[in-house]
Amino acid sequence: MIAGHFKRALEDIVANPLISALAVATIALSILIVGAALLVAQNADLALQEWKKSARLMAYLDSDPPLPAVELQERIEALEGVASARFIARDAALSELKTRMAHQASLLENLPENPLPDGFEIRLRPDEQGWERLEGVAAHLRTLPGIQEVEYGRQWVGAARDVARLLRTGGAVMSSLFLIAALAIVANTIRLVVYSRREEVAVMRWVGASELFVRAPFYIAGLLQGLAGAGLGLGALYAAFGTLADRPELKVLAEIVPYRFLTPAMTVAILAASTLVGAIGAHLSLGRRSSA
């Protein structure tokens, strides 16, 4: 029986190719938009989490600091919330940068001179890694003699949080608009199929077929359209992600900040939600029992 319903649903989709394709394309576009927003927001959150796991501050020194490095290190480690301070000489910093950028080492080979200053890598205690603590330690560091600049990624992290928040909001608005359009198109698609089969439906009801038996092929058609749209949208998103991930500049970024495609749980949730949209669209077209 179920196989027969699926066969009937496929026949109905093939019999109305233009409007069925429009329904699938609308769902695919909505999934592509919301998926892209989720993808960027997910990776922004991932970058923030990775940053929190290894929260650190970099204190860069003047070219001729008034205090010896050992004494300055002691004063830094005496600050409240600081776990350790590691002195990094400018030559060691350049060597470490070359190691981290091994695939792009040629970019650093022809430098006329080392542009990096001496500095300290400062790590906080795990229970002290809040924004207030970071800002407090940074403020104290700037008062120490010989420290020229303190960097701890505040601007970058703040921008990442703003982008993630904006994408979530924008993605929700855009996906809602496309959801309404997809529901309307799927409902109209199913309504046209019902109309084309009005005589067959009337006969089935006349001979005593249950309402579920009559409606099953139409629900399945809506489910298939929703699933097909989600598959196309996610496929396009994955192809775009793979193309961008192969770009050299993003490969460099991946060595510093990891990024990944949507998690399996998110992918399954999107597929399920899109399939549900198709089913709801079918239900809307069948909401009122009609002899048509």
DSSP 102-158: GGGTHHHHT-SS--PPPEEEEEE-GGG-SHHHHHHHHHHHHHSTTEEEEE--HHHHH
- What is the pLDDT, as a whole number, of residue 238? 93
Identify any residues that bridge with 56 across adjacent strands, giving them in sequence order. Answer: 123
Closest-CA residue to 222 (of 199, 267, 192, 264): 192
The whole-angstrom separation of Cα 66 and Cα 36 is 51
- What is the pLDDT, as a whole number, of residue 225? 86
CB 38 within 8 A of CB 266: yes
The whole-angstrom separation of Cα 231 and Cα 29 is 11
- What is the pLDDT, as a whole number, of residue 51? 67
Structure token pair of residue 250:
């993003």
Structure token pair of residue 111:
């430098």
The whole-angstrom separation of Cα 257 and Cα 99 is 16
Angle at the Cα of 178 (from 222 to 21), degrees rounded to 5?
45
The whole-angstrom separation of Cα 151 and Cα 213 is 67
- What is the pLDDT, as a whole number, of residue 236? 95
Distances (CA, A) of 265 to 149, 221, 271, 289: 43, 25, 10, 37
Q: What 3-state DSSP class applies to 151?
A: strand
- What is the pLDDT, as a whole number, of residue 97? 64
Structure token pair of residue 32:
């592509």
Helix or strand holding residue 36 (H, E): helix 17-53
pLDDT in tens, the chain (292 residues): 677 767 777 777 777 777 788 888 888 888 888 888 888 878 877 777 766 666 678 888 887 777 788 888 888 888 887 888 888 887 776 676 666 665 665 655 666 666 678 888 888 876 655 566 777 888 888 888 888 888 876 666 667 667 767 777 876 787 777 778 777 777 777 777 777 667 776 777 787 767 777 778 888 888 888 899 899 999 999 999 888 877 776 666 666 667 788 889 989 998 998 888 888 888 877 765 444 4
The whole-angstrom separation of Cα 284 and Cα 251 is 47
Structure token pair of residue 182:
């997809």
